[in-house]
Amino acid sequence: MSETLIRQLVSQRPCGLLTDIDGTISPIATTPDAAQVSAAAREALRRLAQQLELVAVISGRAAADAAALVGLPELIYIGNHGLELAQAGVVQPVPDAVAYIPVIDEVLRSAQERIALTGILFENKGVTASVHYRMAEQPAQAQLLIGAILHELSAQHGLVLTPGRMVWELRPPLAIDKGTAARRLVTAYALRSVIFVGDDRTDTDAFRALRELRAQGVCAALNVGVAGSETP
């Protein structure tokens, strides 16, 4: 990736930077609570927020959690894969997703009762939930067992189940993801250029959306994939 290319893209204003957190600006941690954003990364984002029309975080974390981890109130935070927006300390979930909060809670409780494995972390994020198996004694087997149980429960309750990096995600059956979130931001801020940084399967939705916007002539777009040992 050449500096000239980036300068050419950023010169097309308004310009936005969209980034994931885990595996991009924060190294993958054993548990979500153990993740950290370095002081250098935080300072870089702070400076970019002063120079660009938009700097936003698009994460699978709950929006409030993402905002607390990054620690920059001037940024926009899209949480739960597009189902929440946090701005200036106020979290706004997508209205259609709110009705699924008790469903998510019920399914997660049922999963906890049925999954008798050590090292499994159940994370209720309100409008979504995650079941992490990174700390399982045998992660590959845990993935299959947990996936089978969650497939059954999600089908029974009308939820969508998606895989991630050592995690299964439970979501409402809404046509909302990181791609639709990226599209909304491009439209809301009338962006003429945008850079998206991601590393996981769910980030490919944003990669795909921005490629389509670029092909349609809506904006210039650069997708940056952060490669790691667990990158799909």
pLDDT band for 148, please (50, 70, 90 cuts).
very high
Distance CA(118)–CA(94), nearest Å, equals: 34
How far apart CA 70 and CA 35 sit, in angstroms, is: 10
Q: Fold match between 3-94+176-225 and 97-171?
A: no
- Residue spans of the domains in the chain: they are 3-94+176-225, 97-171
Query: Long-range pairs for 203-207 at CB < 8 Å and ≥24 separation?
Result: 203/20, 203/178, 205/177, 205/178, 205/179, 205/180, 206/18, 206/58, 206/177, 206/178, 206/179, 206/181, 206/182, 207/179
Question: In the CATH hierarchy, which fold is given to the domain comprising 3-94+176-225?
Answer: Rossmann fold (3.40.50)
Instruction: Indicate whether 221 pLDDT > 70.
Output: yes
**Total residues belonging to the chain:** 232
Distance in angstroms (rounded) separating the CA atoms of residues 106 and 86: 25
C-alpha angle 189-97-219 in degrees, rounded to nearest 5: 20
Instruction: State yes or no: is 20 an active-site residue.
Output: yes
Q: Which of 218, 148, 209 is nearest to 183 (CA)?
A: 209
pLDDT tens per residue across span 170-192: 999 999 999 999 999 999 999 99
pLDDT digits (tens, 9 = 90+) for 33-67: 999 999 999 999 999 999 999 999 999 999 999 99
Which CATH topology does 97-171 take? Answer: Alpha-Beta Plaits (3.30.70)
Q: Which of 20, 65, 177, 200 is catalytic?
A: 20
Q: What is the pTM of this model?
A: 0.92
pLDDT beyond 80 at 18: yes
Report the C-alpha gap between 60 and 172 in whole angstroms: 13
